[in-house]
């Protein structure tokens, strides 16, 4: 009887521990979503008072132009400060630092997004307004799905954003700059994925080991996503904006297929 009671007690403790871990993950996800909502409201404010200012408000536009420039500098400084603070907290406790990381990301988005609206006004405002909800979706994927799907969604999302930028800028030097950044990030993620595949999902840093991916991770899904994204980002430069439009739908459909696939793996 005592052995059965002990086993039942251990089972309950394991269930409680698992429930507590799931609650912590869910709370972190809610914090990221709340941060995204706040940033999106600020972006909507910039869009209203600067990009789509009424005739009666034109006298205030130069003031907002100066404010958006100041916000870029302040946003970058606060981003670095909150990021360093979060990393320092995370070193002492793996459960800490989430709020600081959210504040860092929010400050960067406000600064860069506001400056982008300042420089390109109505041509880039829809992109900025769409990026923040996209980042919120990525946060949900990070906490709810397998990490390889997060990598797929990140690379695919960069591809969709890049193709949208191409259609807006018609392949100008801004798109070339974005393309270089996207290719570098994709290459680094691919290298990291390849190393994790060789080490069964474990990342070794100095004398510590971090399990980033489970042993049965779907590595081919990421490799296919990376190749598809790179190809679709390069093709419009030869075939034009019409191809970029259809490429957006191809990438979106592919990510939807992956969402169904990874959802089925969770069941």
DSSP H/E element including 55:
none
> What mean pLDDT value characterizes the chain?
84
- Report yes or no on whether pTM surpasses 0.85: no
pLDDT tens by residue, 228-265: 999 999 988 888 778 888 899 999 999 999 999 988 88
More confident residue, 205 or 162: 162
Distance, in Å, from the CA atom of 17 to the CA atom of 67, rounded to the nearest integer, reads 48
Angle of the 98-120 helix axis to the 2-46 helix axis, nearest 10: 20
Task: Output the pLDDT for position 218.
Answer: 86
Task: Output the pLDDT for position 60.
Answer: 85
pLDDT interval class at 29 (50, 70, 90)? confident
What are the Cα distances from residue 27, in Å, to 16, 17, 134, 195, 248?
A: 16, 15, 19, 31, 32
Residues 6+ apart with CB under 8 A from 227: none
Query: Is residue 59 over pLDDT 90?
Result: no
Query: Is residue 12 over pLDDT 60?
Result: no
pLDDT interval class at 118 (50, 70, 90)? confident
- Residue ranges of alpha helices (H) inside 145-218 are 147-169, 173-198
Distance, in Å, from the CA atom of 155 to the CA atom of 152, rounded to the nearest integer, reads 5
Task: Output the pLDDT for position 231.
Answer: 93
């Amino acid at each position: 009887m005592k052995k059965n009671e002990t086993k039942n007690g251990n089972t309950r403790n394991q269930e409680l521990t698992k429930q507590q871990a799931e609650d912590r993950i869910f709370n972190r996800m809610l914090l990221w979503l709340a941060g995204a909502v706040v940033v999106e409201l600020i972006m909507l404010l910039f869009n209203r008072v600067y990009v789509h200012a009424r005739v009666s408000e034109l006298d205030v536009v130069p003031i907002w132009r100066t404010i958006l420039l100041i916000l870029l500098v302040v946003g970058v400084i606060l981003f670095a400060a909150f990021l360093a603070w979060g990393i320092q907290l995370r070193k002492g406790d793996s459960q800490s630092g989430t709020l600081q990381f959210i504040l860092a990301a929010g400050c960067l988005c406000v600064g860069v997004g506001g400056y982008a609206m300042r420089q390109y006004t109505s041509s880039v405002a829809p992109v900025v307004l769409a990026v923040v909800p996209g980042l919120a979706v990525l946060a949900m994927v990070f906490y709810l799905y397998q990490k390889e799907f997060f990598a797929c969604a990140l690379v695919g999302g960069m591809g969709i954003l890049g193709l949208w930028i191409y259609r807006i800028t018609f392949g100008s030097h801004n798109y070339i700059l974005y393309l270089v950044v996207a290719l570098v990030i994709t290459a680094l993620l691919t290298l990291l994925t390849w190393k994790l595949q060789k080490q069964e999902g474990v990342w070794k840093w100095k004398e510590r080991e971090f399990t980033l991916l489970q042993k049965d991770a779907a590595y081919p899904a990421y490799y296919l996503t990376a190749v598809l994204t790179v190809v679709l980002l390069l093709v419009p430069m030869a075939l034009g904006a019409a191809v970029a439009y259809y490429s957006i739908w191809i990438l979106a459909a592919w990510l939807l297929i992956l969402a169904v696939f990874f959802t089925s793996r969770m069941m």
